[in-house]
Structure 1
Amino acid sequence: MKYWLIKSEPGSFSIDDLARAPRKTTCWDGVRNYQARNMLRDEMKRGDLAFFYHSNSEPPGIVGIVEIVREGYPDHTAFDPDDHHFDARSDPESPRWYMVDVKLVDKFERLLSLRELKEYAGDQLAGFQLLARGNRLSVMPVSAPHWKFINSISKAK
């Protein structure tokens, strides 16, 4: 099993939106970065877990956990000219963009803020990709020790 962190702007799609989705499950579409796409397409496997992170919010932070319930498949929003994720260069015969399906596992009682996570950057979260300067990826791997530590502090306070 691998662990991940996936980001979404709560104004576009929040953890509460996922909680209201049928079976608390939805496709994770709209990723338009090749490095993140490769992780969705090639590395995320059914049963993997991911932190759900609210980005571009005040404050940003981890709000829960999702499970990958369907492995990477072509992102149909890239082919729809009426969708804001449309990519005219993407071809259904040779898809450029991929997505996975996720299911809500746990909504945290509290937001685990980026500021709080940064408090541990030199210690338990040293090397955590989210805390790297200039990191803007919407999908990133999380090491098992980082996963365990973040889960432990999500229940504290």
Structure 2
Amino acid sequence: MITSRLQVLLFSLTLLTGVGTASTITVQSFDTEIQQTRYNRLIYDLRCPVCQGQNIGESNAGLAKDLRDRVRSMILAGQSDDQIAAYMVSRYGEFVLYEPPVRPATYLLWVIPFLVALIGFGFTVIAIKKRGRRSLNNLQTASRADETKRADELLSSIKPNSPIDERDIT
């Protein structure tokens, strides 16, 4: 009896939570599908200034909603994607762009990951070569020790002043 009431209560809470979440979604209407496509691309390419790791399309922050509305109004006013991005950068800095532009000030941002990967690859190759040489040296040392031991056994098996027969050696 108690478990069925608890199940009904949990089911009701789940439904209420879903309705609250669904009501926050707003649909933007545009004159053309091209404008809608541009809008969708821009809101997912612009980072929310107050959220960690979210774009303005995914964020529920009030500022993100304002920025979505601003992007919509700028698109309807006929501004280009570059103009909209420039406006956002002038207002919030380059942080708002998920991909910073390539220019002399940002070359290091684009080059350092490749340099780190190249250096890591170089260290890996060097380590593999050293390990290969070390195991080869150990193998050669072990085979030399075996050969020396076998030669000592053969020499000790030879009696002094006796003729050497080839059958004794093998």
Note whether the superposition's TM-score is higher than 0.5.
Answer: no
TM-score by length of 1: 0.22
User: Which is richer in helix?
Assistant: 2
TM-score by length of 2: 0.21
User: Which is richer in strand?
Assistant: 1
